Amino acid sequence: MPQTIGALVNRRWRLPKAKRGRIVGVTPYVEKLLEKQAGKLGITPELFLERICDCVIRDRLYDAVTDGRYDEKPKSSRMTFRLREWR
Per-residue pLDDT of 65-87, as tens digits, reads 888 777 766 555 555 666 666 55
3-state SS assignment for residue 24: strand
Q: Where are the extended beta strands (E) located within 1-87?
A: 21-26, 79-84
Model pLDDT for residues 18-38, shown as the tens digit of each residue: 556 677 778 899 999 999 999
Cα gap 76→26, rounded to integer Å? 8
Cα gap 41→18, rounded to integer Å? 25
**Mean pLDDT, the chain, integer:** 76
Model pLDDT for residues 61-70, shown as the tens digit of each residue: 888 888 877 7
Domain ranges of the chain: 20-84
Confidence at 2, pLDDT banded by 50, 70, 90: very low
Cα gap 78→60, rounded to integer Å? 27
What pLDDT shows up at residue 38? 93
CA-based radius of gyration for the chain: 15
